[in-house]
Structure formats: C-alpha cells, structure tokens
Amino acid sequence: MTIKTLSQHGVQRQQMPCLTKMERMIISMQDPDMGIKLRNQRLLITVIPHAMTGADIFEWLIKKFSISDEEALHIGQIFVKYGYIYPLKEPRNLILKVDNSPYRFQTPYYWMSTRWPASELDYAIYLAKKNIRKQGELIEYEKECYNALHKRINHTWDFVVMQAREQLRASKQRRKADRIVLECQEQAYWLVNRPPPGTLDNIDHGPERRTTNTRVQLNADFYKKEIEHNRISLARNRVKSSICLESYVKYCEQYQPHDPIMQGCLPSNPWITDDIMFWNMNCETVSVPTKLRVERWSFSFMELLSDPVGRKEFLTYLEKEFSAENLCFWQACEDVRHGETSKIPGKVDEVYKQFLAPGASRWVNIDSKTMEKTLEGFKRPHRFVLDDAQMHIYFLMKKDSYPRYLKSDLYKNLLARAVVPQETKKSVLPFIHRQRHSSPSPALATQAAEDDGKTKNSNSFKSNSGTASRL
Amino acid sequence: MASQEESSQPSDTLTTLKTESETLKTKLEEERAKLHDVELHQVAEKIEALGQFVIKNRRTLKGHGNKVLCMDWCKDKRRIVSSSQDGKVIVWDAFTTNKEHAVTMPCTWVMACAYAPSGCAVACGGLDNKCSVYPLSLDKNENLAAKKKSVAMHTNYLSACCFTNSDMQILTSSGDGTCALWDVESGQMLQSFHGHAADVLCLDLAPSETGNTFVSGGCDKKACVWDMRTGQCIQSFETHESDINSVRYYPSGDAFASGSDDATCRLYDLRADREVAIYSKESIIFGASSVDFSFSGRLLFGGYNDYTINVWDVLKGTRMSILFGHENRVSTLRVSPDGTAFCSGSWDNTLRIWA
C-alpha cells in the first residue's frame, strides 16, 4: 500500500515481549471456535462485517482468564489503547465501552509489532489524503503536523500528494463497506502512533537500553571469565530444594504475626488510622519494648543485634557474664568496615590496642590461626582486615552467649514486662482525620548534635546505636 | 581446557569460547536440577490459604511535575525520597504528605535515588552517569545543590544506587554493564563488578549476617550475586526471557525475587542454587518494573508497566489481588522498613502509599 517501513530495529526491545503476548491473545480471541462471536454491525446505513460489541470482549476476557470485572475492563482497554481493537462508533475515542458499542480487530498489517516506528512519509500521505478528501477535515493538531511535515519533507511533497491521490482513487473503486473498514483501520493506526496532544503516549519508553556506545565488550576475555565462573559454579555445594523451601514456610510462619500488612499491628497501623502510637512504642530507644519486639530477638542472633534496645540488653547480660568485650569488639569491627576509609588505619590501631594486643584491657579470645592472619593483615590495614576475627567472635556469641541469654532471667523478665498495646479502632466517621503530626527530621537531630560539638561517629565502643548513627 | 592457537582466526576462537560457555551453562542447569526434589507450591500445600485482606491507597503524594522513576524509604519509616524525569529529587514526610526538601539535578531521567541510613543525606543519579550525595540541610535558605558531592562515575546511565550499612559507602549499577562500590568521603571506587553482558538495571544488598554480598539484574536476562570484598560473581541465574528490571532479597537473605519485562516475577534460592518459583498469569501482559516483599516474606508486591500492582502469595504462587489506581506505568515500589506500608511511584507523576 505504501512504502514499507523497516522492522529491523522495529519495535523498541522492551516492548516486544508484551506485544507478542498481546498478539497471541488477540489471535485466540479470533479463534473460530473458542473466540468471540463476530457478526455484522450496522454503522448508519452500511453493514460492517466481522464486528463485535464491547460487552462481547469484556465477557470473553472474564471467562477466558477467570478474572474480575475490573481486571477484564483493564485488559480490554489495553487492547484498544495499543490499537489491536478499534471502535467503529466514536473512532477517535480509544476506550473500551462495555455495552453494545461496535468494535473490530485491527488487521495484522497495522499491528504495533509490524509497523513501528510509524514513518513520517506514511503520516504525510495519510494527512494529505484526509485533506484532499474533504477540506477542513483535518483537526487542529493534525493541521499543525501537516504543516510541519510539509516544511520538513518538502522535497518529496510531490510524491506525497501523488501517492495520496492514487490511494484515494484506488479506494473509490472499492465497495463502500470495504472502504469504510480500511479507513477505520488506518485511522486507528494513526491515533495510536500519532496520539493527539493530551492523550497518553504508549510509545514513550524512557531512555534506551543497550545503546551501542559503551557496551560491554563481548570479547575473548569476557567469555573466558564466564567459562571460569561456570566451572566453579558446577562444583558448588547445593542444598536439596525440599530443605530450602521448608525454611521459607517456617520463616513466613514465624514472622507472619509481625507483618503489619498481613495481620495488622497494635495499637494500629499509622497509615490507616493516622495514629502514630505504633511508631512511638517501637522507636529506637524505648524503656519498655513491646512483646512482639522482644519475641523477635529469639528468632535469630541478627534480630537481637540489629535492634538497638536488644543490643543494649544483650550487652547488659554479657557484662554480668564478664564477656562484654566480645560485643564491643564486634561493634568496633563494624565501625571499621562501614566507616570512612581515611579513618581505617587509626581505628584498626585502636582495635588492636583495646582488644587484640597481649595484655589488652578488653582482650578477646580468638584462635591462633585467625589471630596470625589478622595481625599479618594489619601491616596493610584495609576495610575488611578484621573480617575473620569479627566472624569468629560473632559465631562465638551466637553459639554460646546468645542461647544462654534467651534462657536467662534478664530476658524472661523483660519478655514478661513487655507491653502488648491496646488496639485503637479506626475512626467511625471516615472523613474525620486525626491530626497527622510531623516528626523531627533525622537531619535535624544531627544538626543539633553538630551544633553542640558532638561528633556523629562516636569513638566509644560502648555505643549502642550501631553504625547507623542515631541520636 | 581447549587450547587457543595464536594463528587461528579471532572469530573462530570467540565462537569456540562462546560455545564452551554455553555448554557449561547447560551442564550447570542439569546439575542444579538434580537436587530439585520438590516444587514450592507442593511444599505450600499444607499451609492455610491466606484470607482476604484489604490494601488501600492511603496517601497520594503529588508534587512531581513529571514521571516518578525511583523512590526509597528513610529508616524512620515515614520519610521517603523520590526522583523524576525532570531532574527533581524530593524528600517527603509521606505520613503528612509534606515536602521537606527539593533538589534539582543538572540532568534529566534521575533513575536512581537512595536515602542514607542516618537519614541525613540522599544519593541520586541518572543520565548524568554519576551518583551524587546531597546532605540534607534544614536551613530553608540553604541551597542543597551547593553541598552536593559527586561520588560515582560510570560511562553510561546510573540505573540504581544504594548505601551499604552506613553513609560512607554506596553501591551503584549502570547502563555500562558494571556495578561498583564507592567510598563517599573520597569518591574513590573501592571495588568494581564485571560480568554482566549488557546494562545492569537493578541491585539489592543482602540482609545476611555477614553482609558482604549483593544481587544485580540486567538486560542480559541474568541475575548475579557478588562478593563485595573480592568483586567476584558468586552465583548467576539466567532463566528470565527478557530484561530484569528489579531484584529484591527475601527477608531471610536465603533467596531473592526478580521482576522482568517478560511479565513474570521469579524466586531464586541461593542455597539450592536455582529458580524455585515463577509468578505469572496469562492475563498479565506487561513487564514487572519493581518488586518487594512484605515484612514476613509471605507476600510479593509487583509494580507493572500496565499501571497495576499485583500482590503474590510467595509460597503458594498465586496472585492474591490486583491493585488499580495509577494512571501510568508503575516504575518503582518499596515496602517501608517496618512493613506497615509500601510506596509505589509512577509515570503518572504521583507516589502512592498503600496499607
């Protein structure tokens, strides 16, 4: 019909998977047995064959995919928006109406995957046809496009007009019904590919991916590295699926009571009731933690350590056991690992003096092999130099002190004293909002501290706020 | 090991290498299949089905003049930072919906933003190929842009960034096919991660005890797990059929989920070393742009390019519900630190809080 557009780099990469899927669905919608029943539709005085109603589409989608009304409407809308189905009445309004409104399937010739990007030349010819056919038929934005194109591809304008006339002549020789159908198809195509200003542009996809400049060099080195990686992966130890999957079941079960979206939270979810009591009762430092929170410390050692209140409690316990230096050492190592690079040598030095040197005031018990390796690393201290020692102490606490802490009176008493908040009911009157109170910005807290002359990263290893500095 | 003759054509050698790599990959998948003795939904049969629960749009944050591309939560559980196509980065108190800070980046398409753990700074970047850190000042007169610190430099767009456990280090992923770890103070690159064959689109830090790994996903359909200390790729998974837009660890750190343009989300177990679940539905046509788990890991929220959010039962593999509301594609989705809500950002210029 017109000059063929290249579909080499046709549709942008990101679109292809969804277009393929849509087209598969469209084809099944047209299946003679299982598809939508098509019939003739009357458009004014002409009878258009192979048409269906909006309601037909809607019902077929619900039945085929066992989905809700809302979802079926949503999917139907997508097909119309992307031009796979077009309306016969009110053709400029690309929406799906769930009633008797007539619709037709777009011919594959005009599918998004076949003819994209739409060519300027084709658009010029289309607008020229409209202009010739009926003076004043072009809408405002089409007039603007037409004039702009006229300027831009002026050199081929004779060809444009000639093609337009030729196509109009050819179409006059068709049956009226065919002519109307072809016009509708073409119109639908251009509504999708040159949307009027103000409507959603389906073609907009954001910055291009896989641009040819700065692409990864798929050279010999790349493949050699990949081969090496695959070899190592082959030799890897794996765990049976049944064991791994069981652990998810356990984890989800254990944490479900703690999942506010699933089971709500007490006193109430602040986002729902506008009451921030939940956040106040669970803030970083609170004198009486909630029961759920204290329970969570028993789920894993990491849970205990990552909660500032839990860590503080654990430290108190360790002090009673005269093994507090282990936790302090662990914290000091965290500080090295996550702190400023420039401070690493100084910090490592401090750690050595306080925890590792013979006769150190807070000496930690590390096995000789690890100690040797660590001391060797001290010659050129780097961020991860304390990792082995830290892990050794971490697992020591995890296997020994942690289980005993959970059995201790200290923990049990805290658990008994822990608070179970009263449920706050949501306001009965839906439009009355509780006043939504602001909270001090974390940035403000730091600013105040800096003004007071305190430093953000405290050097004291007794700090219980961890590496995320909180004041 | 096939010996490469120096005299042979370079293209022959490349083809040989490529074939060898492919062969190994096939062998790897066979090995992985050997210990796969049960499917997730089978294990989940004995669990009770989840009852109906209501998730509604509780807040709508309006203020961006253009597509919202990325967002991140502050550790205080109510503040967020969001970035958009027009270069604006906004810090909100999502609870009150007030805007607290705004910065205009000198570039468009700010595809990545992150909140520092201390709550005192934000990092962002995009088409400028950089990641910059802005300390948050409460002085209304102070121009935040003045204190900007350029940290990361890539040779293509920045797709994602996140702070590690402190304000001092940032992990970035880029369209140049690499990820990198940076020291904020000096702007130095501490480690780089090579292995993806195309743009890296997303990353997530592991919540594990030893905290030294992260996962990335890219246009090469691969998800890779990396050792932050050595820069080595520890594991990789290549089962998606299109670009991986989003990766997120399961709360225990033993698995991660991915969202892709192939309209599926998948779950990969790190100990079993394989894909263990696919979350897809015939009626879901468009790609998932962003995924995150609920606090317990039982639910997986996926933001899709068809403007919807699908909620999946992670264990049973079924789609629990579909949320409508956005008027353009959902580009970013994160659950709040305490799991009370999740936030979605969209090309309709808004952010929504759901609970």
Mutate to test the interface with B, among A67, A82, A214 (most CBs of B within 10 A): A214
Compute, in degrees rounded to 10, the torsion defined by CA atoms B19, B23, B26, B27. -160
CA distances to B76, B138, B289 from B244, rounded to whole Å, are 30, 38, 8
Share of chain A above pLDDT 90, in %: 54
Preceding peptide of A117 cis, ω within 30°: yes
Higher pLDDT, A201 or A138: A138
Q: To which residue do tokens 């192939």 refer?
A: B262
Residue B351, strand partner residues: B61, B345
Half-sphere exposure in the Cβ direction for B24 (13 Å, CA): 21
Quick one: how far is CA B307 from the chain centroid? 18
With cut-offs at 50, 70 and 90, classify the pLDDT of residue A463. Answer: very low
Interchain contact, A234 vs B28, CB within 8 Å? yes
- What average pLDDT does the segment B60-86 reach? 96
Among residues B270, B312, B296, B247, which one has the least CA distance to residue A243?
Answer: B270
Q: Is residue A221 part of a domain?
A: no
Q: Is residue A434 part of a domain?
A: no
3-state SS class at A406: helix
Interchain contact, A468 vs B353, CB within 8 Å? no
* Sheet hosting strand B244-249, strand order edge to edge: B244-249, B255-260, B265-269, B274-279
C-alpha to C-alpha distance for A142 and A128, rounded to whole angstroms: 10
> Is the confidence at residue A356, as pLDDT, over 60?
yes
Encoded tokens for B348? 């309709």
Higher pLDDT, B108 or A212: B108
C-alpha to C-alpha distance for B78 and A36, rounded to whole angstroms: 49
Nearest CA-CA distance, residue B168 and chain A, Å: 6
Architecture of domain B53-354 in this structure: 7 Propeller (2.130)
The domain boundary, picked from A159, A178, A203, lies at A203
pLDDT, position A219: 85
C-alpha to C-alpha distance for B115 and A229, rounded to whole angstroms: 34
Most confident listed range (A423-427, B11-15, B84-88)? B84-88
Single-letter residue type at A380 = R
Nearest CA-CA distance, residue B216 and chain A, Å: 16
pLDDT, position A211: 64
Mutate to test the interface with A, among B8, B25, B75, B95 (most CBs of A within 10 A): B95
With cut-offs at 50, 70 and 90, classify the pLDDT of residue A278. Answer: very high
Partners of B283 on chain A (C-beta within 8 Å) are 61, 65, 67, 71, 75
Whether A327 contacts A311, CB under 8 Å: yes
Q: Are residues A166 and A58 in the same domain?
A: no
pLDDT, position B52: 83
CA distances to A75, B54, B291, B312 from B320, rounded to whole Å, are 18, 11, 15, 5
Which residue in chain B has the smallest CA separation from A398?
A: B209
Domain count, chain A: 3
Helices A69-81 and A16-29, axial angle in degrees (round to 10): 110
Q: Are residues A411 and A298 in the same domain?
A: yes
pLDDT, position B141: 63
With cut-offs at 50, 70 and 90, classify the pLDDT of residue A117. Answer: confident
Q: Is residue A435 part of a domain?
A: no
C-alpha to C-alpha distance for A25 and A21, rounded to whole angstroms: 6
CB contact A211 to B (< 8 Å):
yes
Task: Domain ranges for chain B, please list them.
Answer: 53-354
Among residues A465, A426, A462, which one has the least CA distance to residue A449?
Answer: A465
Buried b (16+ CB within 10 A) or exposed e, A44-53: eeeebeebbb
Q: Is residue A261 part of a domain?
A: no
Q: Which residues contact A425 (CB under 8 A, 6 or more apart)?
A: A268, A273
- What average pLDDT does the segment B107-118 reach? 95
Interchain contact, A245 vs B77, CB within 8 Å? no
Q: Are residues A370 and A354 in the same domain?
A: yes
CA distances to A208, B70, B250 from B335, rounded to whole Å, are 28, 13, 12
Q: Are residues A161 and A173 in the same domain?
A: yes
pLDDT, position B9: 55
Radius of gyration of chain A (CA): 35
| CATH number for A185 | 1.10.1240.60
The domain boundary, picked from A203, A222, A241, lies at A203
Count interface pairs A-B at CB distance under 8 A: 318
Q: Are residues A150 and A33 in the same domain?
A: no
Partners of A68 on chain B (C-beta within 8 Å) are 322
Minimal Cβ distance to A220: which of B17, B98, B251: B17
What is the overall mean pLDDT for chain A? 85
CB contact B22 to A (< 8 Å):
no
- What average pLDDT does the segment B52-61 reach? 93
With cut-offs at 50, 70 and 90, classify the pLDDT of residue B146. Answer: confident
Whether B91 contacts B101, CB under 8 Å: yes
Partners of A213 on chain B (C-beta within 8 Å) are 156
> Is the confidence at residue A455, as pLDDT, over 50?
no
> Is the confidence at residue A99, as pLDDT, over 80?
yes
Encoded tokens for B259? 């969202």
With cut-offs at 50, 70 and 90, classify the pLDDT of residue A10. Answer: very low
> Is the confidence at residue A239, as pLDDT, over 50?
yes
What is the overall mean pLDDT for chain B? 93
Among residues A172, A167, A55, which one has the least CA distance to residue A103?
Answer: A55
Q: To which residue do tokens 């705004």 refer?
A: B102
The domain boundary, picked from A168, A188, A203, lies at A203
pLDDT, position A6: 33
Residue B113, strand partner residues: B124
Q: Are residues A85 and A41 in the same domain?
A: yes
Q: Is residue A31 part of a domain?
A: yes
Encoded tokens for B188? 């130095």
Q: Are residues A154 and A176 in the same domain?
A: yes
Higher pLDDT, A6 or A33: A33
pLDDT, position B326: 96
With cut-offs at 50, 70 and 90, classify the pLDDT of residue A214. Answer: low
| CATH number for A41 | 1.10.10.10
CA distances to A208, B126, B199, B226 from B156, rounded to whole Å, are 11, 9, 9, 21
List, as ranges, residues 249-278 from B with C-beta within 8 Å of A. Answer: 250-252, 254-255, 261-263, 269, 271-274, 276
Residue A150 structural domain: 117-203
Encoded tokens for A395? 């697992």
pLDDT tens digits, B275-316: 999 999 999 999 999 999 999 999 999 999 999 999 999 999
Buried b (16+ CB within 10 A) or exposed e, A323-353: bbbbbbbbbbbbbbbbbbbebbeebbebbbe
Radius of gyration of chain B (CA): 21
Q: Is residue A81 part of a domain?
A: yes
Give the N- to C-terminal CA distance of chain A in Å, as an integer: 72
Containing A422, the helix (H) or strand (E) segment is none
Q: How open is the CA angle B145-B148-B150, to the nearest 5 degrees? A: 140
Nearest CA-CA distance, residue B17 and chain A, Å: 6
Q: Are residues A95 and A166 in the same domain?
A: no
Which residue in chain B has the smallest CA separation from A257?
A: B296
Q: Are residues A288 and A369 in the same domain?
A: yes
CB contact A34 to B (< 8 Å):
no
Give a three-class secondary structure readout of chain B: CCCCCCCCCHHHHHHHHHHHHHHHHHHHHHHHHHCCCCCHHHHHHHCCCCCCCCCCEEEEEECCCCCEEEEEECCCCCEEEEEECCCEEEEEECCCCEEEEEEECCCCCCCEEEECCCCCEEEEECCCCEEEEEECCCCCCCCHHHHCEEEEECCCCEEEEEECCCCCEEEEEECCCEEEEEECCCCCEEEEEECCCCCEEEEEECCCCCCCEEEEEECCCCEEEEECCCCCEEEEECCCCCCEEEEEECCCCCEEEEEECCCCEEEEECCCCEEEEEECCCCCCCCEEEEEECCCCCEEEEEECCCCEEEEECCCCCEEEEECCCCCCEEEEEECCCCCCEEEEECCCEEEEEC
Interchain contact, A74 vs B308, CB within 8 Å? yes
- What average pLDDT does the segment B310-335 reach? 96
C-alpha to C-alpha distance for B57 and B344, rounded to whole angstroms: 10
Q: To which residue do tokens 């539905």 refer?
A: B281
Q: Are residues A68 and A181 in the same domain?
A: no
> What backbone phi and psi angles, to 5 degrees, belong to A13?
-45, -45
C-alpha to C-alpha distance for B291 and B279, rounded to whole angstroms: 11
